[in-house]
Chain A
Amino acid sequence: MVIEISDVLLQGTNLESPIQVALPAPITIREVMIELGIQHMGYGTYFVNGQLKKLEDLVEDQDTLMVLPIFGGG
């Protein structure tokens, strides 16, 4: 799957967006984030194929995951 993730959430990793990973079976977004070593997953907003999702939701290999920083006013 393709993961587009904001540089704000890539702190502490050597990753660069977009990231390509292979998913043999559907797993939760939280598990994908843990696999990638994203420390700040709790500060993200998650979109799968453009739809807003939660960390506990499942993703599949053909999905596109976009991760943007949480937004709360301003």
Chain B
Amino acid sequence: MNNGYCGKILEIDLTHQKTKIIEISEPIMRKYMGGKGLIAYFMKEDQLEKVDPWSDENVIYYMTGVMTGIPTAGTSRLIMGTRSPMTNGFGMSESGGFVATELKKAGWDGLIVRGKSKNPVYLYIHNDRVDFCDATALWGKGTGEAHDKILEALGDKHIKMSQIGPAGERLVPYACVINDLRHACGRNGLGAVMGNKHLKAIAIRGTKGISFDNRTEMMALSKWYSGQYKDNPLSNGLYLYGTAGGLGNMNQTGILPTRNFREGYFEEGDNLTGQRMAETILIKREGCFACPVRCKRTVEVKKEDLHVDPKFGGPEYETIGAMGSVCGIGNLEVVAKAHERCNDLGIDTISAGMSIAFGMECYEEGYIDQETTMGVDLRFGNEKALLDLIEDIVEQKGFGKWLAQGVRAMSQAFGEETKAFALHVKGQELPMHDPRGKTGVGLGYAVSPTGADHMQGAHDTMMVSQGPVLEQGKLLGQMETVDVFGYGREKAQYYGRMEKWWSFLNMAGVCFFIPGPRGSFPIEKFLDLLEYATGWKIPPEEALLIGERGITQSRCLNLTFGLDETMDVLPERLYQPLRNGGLKGKAIDREAFQDMRQAYYEYMGWDDKGIPTQETLRRLGLDD
């Protein structure tokens, strides 16, 4: 019997409406864990270097990890993969919620979806049974309406569901996948690939349960954490104020992305904080499967001219930044409305907000005029334009036609000079963290296999002083405090070390807000939990090796996709000084950054072109 995992992947052929079971052996699970590891393992087997992201042959990988479904905090993660239509490279996006656990309870470690359905379809997976259901009547509907109709048709309110909205159907490159209306695999265009396959939704019901090696000890540890998490500011802060609890800190520091990253301080920032949300529109704190921390928000606005439906949850920090400060908007109710519309339509809030902000700067600087914007006065702070353009992006009408293509494509069309403020890496728009105040995050953006991505590694701000966070970092080999503005070998190694741990958590199916150093569940105890689930004793050093394997796998894939070291670069804006706030005048040092990137390659066992050496591949068991 397998403990902690099922040993089975369900392969689904949409073209012929057939399924197949792929058995996964224990050595493979122990080596790759799930998540990014299994995605890359199968992506290599499938030879996606020969496959265009927009072709029928592209594949969707829908994975759990070996810790997914343990009834404790942080074990809810769904990790989706594909060849990304945004970057043309290794595509991946993860989400919390309930769908991953439900899939595991149905007896599957993951899904591999191939081919293309002739007509719109949704999948209903109920334990071993798979139904291909007609979704013609749902095509064009928002996720809210489609969700209710699917639940009604299947007659089971316990079903969990991943969906696309009209944005995915209409192939907006940054269309996302919405899970149970309020969680998102937001990045890398997973929703567009689903839309291209005419796959509207994946509805899942699992009643088999999951087998664990030592349930008694596992439950005791889970109970211990539930009793103590509120004593720790890291998790209590998330409970009280959600992921936006740090927004005030970032504004004070001068690294709150404001007006397309021109600035780092937003004068209306106090209106956007998690604290302000708690005082105003918050109606409920919610969490993912079995997680007591409950960092998710549910908000509601009931005004004559603005109504925000609580069924879509509420905006997280990334959305508040992208729809708020980055667009110069300081109205939390408008941001909440933008969040609701993006979840219903199925577009990534980060890429949508950043695309609109880029359009705003192009307009204010005179690179485009109202002839291009189709009459929209596209200045920073225009709340009506923000809400209207979200709809137009999905319908691809008016200026929305341009915005739907994303920042890279727009900057190519609007003139060479606009590249100075086109904020993307490998074609994916930047998330809401400014590397000018944390250089390691910049390194992460540059080398991430998925383009600019906030989910790949730790932030420099966590270990600036001696204390409990650094003590957890020491278990991962980080012995010294971190200079947020530093470069060089030490900084490269800090980022690399933490990236390995973050990568391991992704592969195991774990949220990085729960175990140390970012969370309050001590690393040693969290690895005990893994042992109680699987029977595998994995010390931190082995966890880091597993995480490194995942990073190197995705690096190797990107090299076969044609994404080499010339694409490990930052946008020009980050080499320009911040125009206001606590870090006014601060910019990335180009030469020092380049040296740090080379030091990172060396630390990771890659050559000076960023290619993993044969010795590294051998050490990681990837030389086959």
Chain A residues touching B, range: 20 to 34
CB-CB under 8 A from A56, the residues of chain B are 465
Q: Once bound together, how far apart are the Cα atoms of A6 and B233, in whole Å? A: 10
In contact, A66 and B252 (Cβ under 8 angstroms): yes
User: Nearest Cβ distance between residue A68 and chain B, in whole angstroms?
Assistant: 4
Contact A45 B458 (CB under 8 A): no
B318 touches A74 (CB 8 A): yes
**Do B465 and A69 touch (CB < 8 A)?**
no
Across the interface, do A50 and B458 meet the contact criterion of CB distance under 8 Å? no
Residues from chain A with a CB closer than 8 A to the CB of B243 are: 74
A71 contacts B461, C-beta separation under 8 Å: yes
Instruction: State the Cβ distance, A22 to closest chain B Cβ, in Å.
Output: 25
A68 x B249 contact (CB < 8 A): yes
Q: Is A55 an interface residue (CB 8 A)?
A: yes
Mark contacts of A35-69 with chain B using CB atoms, 8 A cut-off: 1 yes-contact digit, 0 otherwise: 00000111111010011101110000000001011
Whole-angstrom distance from the CB of B472 to the nearest CB of chain A? 10
Q: In the complex, which residues of chain A have a beta carbon less than 8 angstroms from the beta carbon of B467?
A: 41-43, 55
Within B298-319, the residues touching A (CB, 8 Å) are 316-318
CB of A42 within 8 A of CB of B465, answer yes
Chain A residues closer than 8 Å to B248, beta-carbon distance: 68
Contact of B371 with A by CB under 8 A: no
Instruction: Let me know if B582 and A52 touch, CB within 8 A.
Output: yes
B513 at the interface (CB under 8 A from A): yes
**Given A8-B245, A71-B250, A74-B454: A55 and B237 within 8 A (CB)?**
no
Interface residues of B in 161-195 (CB under 8 A from A): none
Find chain B residues with CB under 8 A from A11 CB. Answer: 231, 233, 236
CB contacts under 8 Å to A, within B434-459, are 454-455, 458-459
State whether A74 and B236 are in contact (beta carbons under 8 Å apart), knowing that A50-B252, A51-B582, A66-B252 are contacts in the complex. Answer: no
Total A-B contacts with CB atoms under 8 angstroms apart: 91
- The answer to whether A3 has its CB under 8 Å from any CB of chain B is no
Decide if A42 touches B518 in the complex (CB within 8 Å): no
Complex-state Cα separation, A71 to B459, whole angstroms: 8
Contacting residues, chain B, for A23 (C-beta < 8 A): none
B582 touches A50 (CB 8 A): yes
Identity of the chain A residue whose Cβ is nearest the Cβ of B470 in the assembled complex = A42
Bound state CA distance, A7 and B248, in angstroms? 13
Interface residue B433 (Cβ < 8 Å from any Cβ of A): yes
Q: Which residue of B lies closest to A43 (CB)?
A: B233
Which of A41, A42, A43, A70 counts the most chain B CB atoms within 10 A?
Answer: A70
Q: Which residues of A contact B433 (CB under 8 A)?
A: 73
A71→B233 contact, CB < 8 A: no
B461 and A45 contacting across the interface, CB-CB below 8 Å: yes
- Closest beta carbon of chain A to B454's beta carbon, Å: 6
Q: Determine if B249 and A72 form an interchain contact, defined as CB atoms under 8 angstroms apart.
A: no
Residues 447-498 (chain B) with a chain A CB within 8 angstroms: 454-455, 458-459, 461-462, 464-469, 481, 484
> Which B residues are CB-close (under 8 A) to A2?
none
- List chain B residues, Cβ under 8 A from A7: 240
Contact partner, B246, options A9, A51, A69, Cβ 8 Å: A69
Do A47 and B461 contact each other (CB < 8 Å), given the known contacts A74-B246, A74-B513? no
Query: In this complex, which of B237, B466, B481, B518 has the most chain A Cβ atoms within 10 angstroms of its Cβ?
Result: B237
Task: Given A8-B245, A47-B253, A50-B252, answer yes or no on A72-B518 (Cβ-Cβ < 8 Å).
Answer: yes
User: Is the beta-carbon distance between A73 and B582 smaller than 8 angstroms?
Assistant: no
Q: Is B512 interfacial (CB 8 A cutoff)?
A: yes
A42: chain B residues within 8 A (beta carbon): 465-469
Q: A68 to B582, alpha carbons, bound, how many Å?
A: 15
8 Å CB contacts to B: which residues of A13-40?
40
By a CB distance below 8 angstroms, the chain B residues around A66 are 252
Q: Is B234 an interface residue (CB 8 A)?
A: yes
Residues of B within 8 A of A41 (CB): 467
Tell me whether B582 and A71 are in contact (CB under 8 A): no
A72, B465: Cβ atoms closer than 8 Å = no
Q: In the complex, what residue of chain B is closest to A51 when comparing beta carbons? A: B582
Chain B 490-524 per-residue mask, 1 if CB under 8 angstroms from chain A, else 0: 00000000000000000000001100001000000
In the complex, chain A residues whose CB is within 8 Å of the CB of B249: 45, 68-71
A33 CB to closest chain B CB, in angstroms?
11
Return 23 A-B CB contacts under 8 Å, by A number.
Answer: A8-B233, A8-B245, A11-B233, A11-B236, A40-B233, A43-B232, A43-B233, A44-B233, A45-B253, A50-B252, A52-B253, A54-B481, A56-B465, A68-B246, A68-B252, A69-B234, A70-B233, A70-B461, A71-B459, A73-B454, A73-B458, A73-B459, A74-B454
Given pairs A42-B466, A44-B233, A52-B582, 11 additional interface contacts (CB within 8 A): A11-B233, A40-B232, A43-B233, A43-B234, A45-B464, A54-B464, A69-B234, A69-B246, A70-B469, A71-B461, A72-B462
- What 10 A-B pairs have minimum CB-CB distances, sorted nearest first? A42-B467, A71-B246, A74-B243, A68-B249, A72-B462, A43-B233, A72-B459, A8-B237, A42-B468, A55-B465
User: Which B residues are closer than 8 A to A by beta carbons?
Assistant: 231-234, 236-237, 240-241, 243, 245-246, 248-250, 252-253, 316-318, 433, 454-455, 458-459, 461-462, 464-469, 481, 484, 512-513, 518, 582
Chain A positions near chain B (C-beta within 8 angstroms): 6-9, 11, 40-45, 47, 50-52, 54-56, 66, 68-74
